[in-house]
Amino acid sequence: MEFLDLPLELLSQILSHLTKVQHVASACRVSKAFYEFGISRLYERTSIYPSERTSRHTPKRNQVISLFNTLAHHPRLAKYVVRLEIRDFPKVSKALGTGDVEELVLNALLLQTMDTLVDLEINGHSDGHYDPSILKSFSHLRRISLIMPSADVVGQLKSWTAQTGSHLRSLTLICKTSPLVTDSIVAGIVPNLPELEQFSVTGCLRVTEQGVWSILASNTSGLCSLALEGLNSKFDHAALSARCATNPAVLARLQSFTMSVYNDIWLHSVTSLLKLAHRLRLSSCMPPIRTSRPFAGRRLPATHSGMILCRTHGARLTRVFVHRMSISLPAIRDICMRCPVLKQLYVVVDPSALTACHAPRSLRAVHINFPTVAMEEWIDEVPVVLRAPDALAIVRRCPDTITLFGCNARVWQVERQVVRDDLGELAVERYLTGYESPDIPEQFLVVRT
């Protein structure tokens, strides 16, 4: 049987293994059949990242404008857009007049993708760049992520979420120590979020336990994911825990919880809070994002109350992240022993500690960051580079199941090949390749930096 004899239905499965956009684009040029099956994958996720020159003579913004022109004049292509990430929308407006850009975006997206676009991540700094009222035209969204929203965008939240109605399942608000998002803002959108499954706030200094409780208490089914990062140090976790104890159903579906750690009191309160989360599978903790020296004087020992989470929920935990806070070798051993189904482990630690942690056989992804403290004093922060051969040596001491390994600013995919050893026997050997997925690893998201 030749390749062309394969059933066409298999093309969709084959193309699903292509992760890079340029590879999908090349596949679409193979034949009409490849085009029909590949074109939807090519456009389903459209991302606009901070501007950079794609070549010596062609600014990236020209490609952005070309993209929107294509979507505006080819409705069939526009309808394939399912996920849209506009992290650099303001800079696009420099190439055209602001009104022209708005009209271009409206024609390309609002008119053609009303029923198909379900995921929008956008730079919320609209001041002088776009009219925030156009956001209400995106009315079928299941996921909204706003990055650094300005006051006029925050002012649109209530009416915008009213337009999305029961469609919306995920809401993320990423600020940088901003006072714009408050408890009253959160309370105002609560009636519009009856089916919300994921709620994440970062750097919203005026969101307290009252605002978070209003989200939890009004939800019809209960949140599956809750992230509270970089909030005010006066956030009262004990009060939130007490309220949840009066209505345990609000945490009955919670599977993922992320928080910033200010002190042991916070951790003890959160430990009490999460006793009510009987489905918890993912846990992350870190110092507040405003810490100028991420690892300064912070170490998480095995006896720390944060590790109690592993003792309480370890049988179910599949992901444990400890960001910007050094973790002891006994604590790593404790995590690995108490989390038999652990799939992802992200820690700040010396790489030699990883070789002795007896990782569970379920482990899929490991990312380590090196502490940058020497002799209890801060030194100049110089990125530590782990060479690929050294990384591979660590990977080969990890379980066979590992597929992703990272250190500091590097991430590798772990691939396998069949080789013949010196005795002529066949064996499977692991090797490292570059990271190809379009998804940004969680440790590199803006909330982690």
Q: What pLDDT digit, counting tens, does each position of 242-274 carry?
A: 999 999 899 999 999 988 877 667 777 888 888
Q: pLDDT by residue (tens digit) across 270-324?
A: 888 888 888 888 777 655 533 333 344 455 544 454 566 787 888 888 988 887 7
Rounded to a whole number of angstroms, the distance between the first and last alpha carbons of the chain is 52
Region 147-170: mean pLDDT is: 92
Residue of 191, 199, 142 lying closest to 174 (CA atoms): 199
Cβ atoms of 52 and 91 closer than 8 Å: no
- CA dihedral sign, ordered 209, 246, 258, 439: negative
The mean pLDDT of the chain is 80
Given this model, what pLDDT does residue 84 score? 86
Beta partners for residue 198, in sequence order: 170, 225
Instruction: Give 390-431 pLDDT, tens digit per residue.
Output: 899 889 888 889 999 998 888 999 999 999 888 888 989 999
pLDDT surpassing 60 at residue 214: yes
The pLDDT of residue 297 is: 45
Closest residue by Cα to residue 287 from 364, 218, 369, 361: 369
Q: Is the pLDDT of residue 14 over 80?
A: yes
pLDDT of res. 432? 95
Query: Residue 106 pLDDT more than 70?
Result: no
Asked whether residue 61 carries a pLDDT value surpassing 90, the answer given is no
Query: What is the pTM (predicted TM-score) of this model?
Result: 0.81
For the stretch 17-57, pLDDT in tens is 888 888 999 999 998 889 999 999 999 988 877 654 444 44
Most confident option among 125-134, 308-317, 334-343:
334-343
User: What's the rounded mean pLDDT across residues 226-254?
Assistant: 90
Per-residue pLDDT, 378? 38
pLDDT score recorded for residue 311: 78
Q: What is the pLDDT of residues 360-379, one digit of tens each?
A: 889 999 998 887 543 334 34
